[in-house]
Chain A
Amino acid sequence: MNPDASTLALASIEFDLSAIEEGQSVTILWRGLPVFVRHRTQKEIDEAKAVPMSDLKDPATDEERTKPGHEQWLIMIANCTHLGCVPVGESGEYDGWFCPCHGSVYDTAGRIRKGPAPKNLVLPPYDFISDTLVQIG
């Protein structure tokens, strides 16, 4: 009953970022999973960088959450790490995401700040092929 070949064939995708303005985010599908691609504002980046590690349940720096030279792009699997609902963007007390299912709150780097979720929103494996083209998976 393991995943068949046609399912595995969807394992890797390329995505063009050029149409996403600063402050915008889109949700795309990768391996059937929704993935948030957010073009962060400078304010959001600064906010994320200012958080002391001791405030975090699952400590990770903003640098670890993004790729060097592409800090404005936050690419994360959009399923809440609690039980997989899709959190709502630009909401919650930390200006990031709020999960309507059981009330988990994420910050502007997608890190868990409050609620039953144990971990930060998961980063898919991805690489920048050029400044505007990214390969996920």
Chain B
Amino acid sequence: MGAPMSEHSTYTPGTGIEKWLDERLPIIRFSKEHLMDFPTPKNLNYWWTFGAILAIMLVVQIVTGVILAMHYTPNVAMAFDSVEHIKRDVNGGRIIQAVHSVGASMFFAAVYVHIFRGMYFGSYKAPREILWILGVLIFVLMMATAFMGYVLPWGQMSFWAATVITNIFGAIPVLGNPILELLRGGFSVGNPTLNRFFSLHYLLPFVIAAVVVLHIWALHVPGNNNPIGVDVKSSRDTVPFHPYYTMKDLYGVVLFAIPFAWFVFFAPDILGHPDNYVMANSQVTPAHIVPEWYFLPFYAILRAIDFNILFINSQLGGVIFFGGSIVILFFLPWLDTSKVRSGTFRPMFKWFYWLFVINFLALAYLGAAPAEGVYVILAKICTAYYFAHFIIVLPVLSRIEKPRPLPASISESVLGKAHA
């Protein structure tokens, strides 16, 4: 386990001013400890660069978003045109808007990699449960933010996404209707909805930033997990964060920027839907409603419940499973009780992990497919498996699986590899 926070500082204030500051607000010491000297396992692979990529993406969304907000008008009569105005008339607006809308997709791509990385390497296990829970919280906030952002251009998909998603809350018994009216600020999705969504879309990224700070705090208490999942045993297992991981992360960010730039410059609309170039119309629903790709697996789960379950009707049933599919992530640290963190040393878990990944991708595919025929049945099977993975597979595996022997230390595993 990493040494307590304050012990690994090599900071000695050089000048008089630094010394004066250090006695009042030790911000330089703090930064040096956490951004430079922080002892980091020396075997982290590229899956570990996604945390830094996510931090950069949050900054990218906030910077482009603030600029967009200078030119955007949150009014149902003008919102659609104002986004077109940004794309056509505002200096650099075409690129800024594309960076922001493609950026949302890239952000989610990175967060999915980051989450699945954590699932494979058991990063949610003790002593990192709170770190994991804060991560899931960030994911939920990101979904809320992206959904409300998607409503802002006020196209047909914006409008119907707003209608369908707010209605999900309307399905809650008793409180449903008051919540629905509160979310919409009226009886239906309209100008008050757009206004409050804009306000919240501006606010939430800063809430996310605050939770990210807690997330990193919770990371820096036990220190990083690593690909073999064995605790740091001595200083030989670690290297200072800077320059080793600042450089590795930066390299990851540059690689990540390549597909990002390709989308922005060559295909800014490819991830979107043509129907969103038609202004919102509350009287006509587009023939095929599909959410943004990053919501598809959860959308498939929502749709899969088209039957009543005892006294729960099909609509509420869908909502319960939809919410449950995200809420269950919070409980993951207590569902998988195997002491071995890394999937690399868990011969059975490894297969079920990949099955879960395939099942998740299948759900994404089914979320985009029309709700008819064989797709409906497949969506039900995949939904059932999604939950079974958490409720049955993981707890059972923790009990019956015999893990492979773990390397004695990080250093040993690294050196062993070099000799082989």
B:365-387 near A, CB below 8 Å: 370-372
Contact string against A for B residues 188-213, beta-carbon threshold 8 Å, 1 for contact and 0 otherwise:
11101000100000000000000000
Q: Is the pair B182, A83 in contact by a Cβ cutoff of 8 Å? A: no
Total number of A residues with any Cβ neighbor in B under 8 Å: 30
**A-B interface pairs (CB < 8 A), number:** 91
- A33 CA to B286 CA, complexed, in Å: 17
Chain A residues touching B, majority SS: loop
Stretch at the interface among A24-32, A38-46, A47-55, A60-68: A24-32
Total number of B residues with any Cβ neighbor in A under 8 Å: 35
Q: Is the pair B288, A100 in contact by a Cβ cutoff of 8 Å? A: yes
A83-B282 contact in complex given A102-B306, A118-B313, C-beta closer than 8 Å: no
Chain B residues touching A, majority SS: loop
Question: Contact check: which of A1, A7, A34, A116 meets B282 at CB < 8 Å?
Answer: A34
* Min distance, Cβ B300 to any Cβ of chain A, angstroms: 11
Instruction: Please indicate the chain A residues that have their CB under 8 angstroms from the CB of B289 in the complex.
Output: 85, 100-101
Contact string against A for B residues 73-88, beta-carbon threshold 8 Å, 1 for contact and 0 otherwise:
0000000000000000
Q: Is the pair A4, B192 in contact by a Cβ cutoff of 8 Å? A: yes
* Min distance, Cβ A68 to any Cβ of chain B, angstroms: 28
Contact string against B for A residues 71-88, beta-carbon threshold 8 Å, 1 for contact and 0 otherwise:
000000011011111110
Interface assignment of B347: CB less than 8 Å from any CB of chain A: no
Q: Is the pair A7, B283 in contact by a Cβ cutoff of 8 Å? A: no
Question: Contact check: which of B187, B288, B306 meets A32 at CB < 8 Å?
Answer: B187
A3-B192 contact in complex given A100-B289, A102-B371, A118-B314, C-beta closer than 8 Å: yes
Q: Is the pair A84, B163 in contact by a Cβ cutoff of 8 Å? A: yes
Q: Is the pair B283, A29 in contact by a Cβ cutoff of 8 Å? A: yes
B:155-192 near A, CB below 8 Å: 160, 163-164, 167-168, 181-182, 185-190, 192
Interface assignment of A23: CB less than 8 Å from any CB of chain B: no
Instruction: Please indicate the chain A residues that have their CB under 8 angstroms from the CB of B181 in the complex.
Output: 2-3
Q: Is the pair B282, A32 in contact by a Cβ cutoff of 8 Å? A: yes
Q: Is the pair B285, A100 in contact by a Cβ cutoff of 8 Å? A: yes
Give the interface of B toward A (CB within 8 A): 160, 163-164, 167-168, 181-182, 185-190, 192, 196, 282-289, 303, 305-306, 308, 313-316, 318, 370-372
18 contacts between A and B (CB under 8 A): A1-B185, A2-B181, A2-B185, A3-B181, A29-B283, A32-B187, A32-B282, A79-B163, A84-B167, A86-B284, A100-B288, A101-B164, A101-B289, A102-B303, A116-B306, A116-B315, A116-B318, A118-B314
Give the interface of A toward B (CB within 8 A): 1-4, 7, 27, 29, 31-34, 78-79, 81-87, 99-103, 115-119
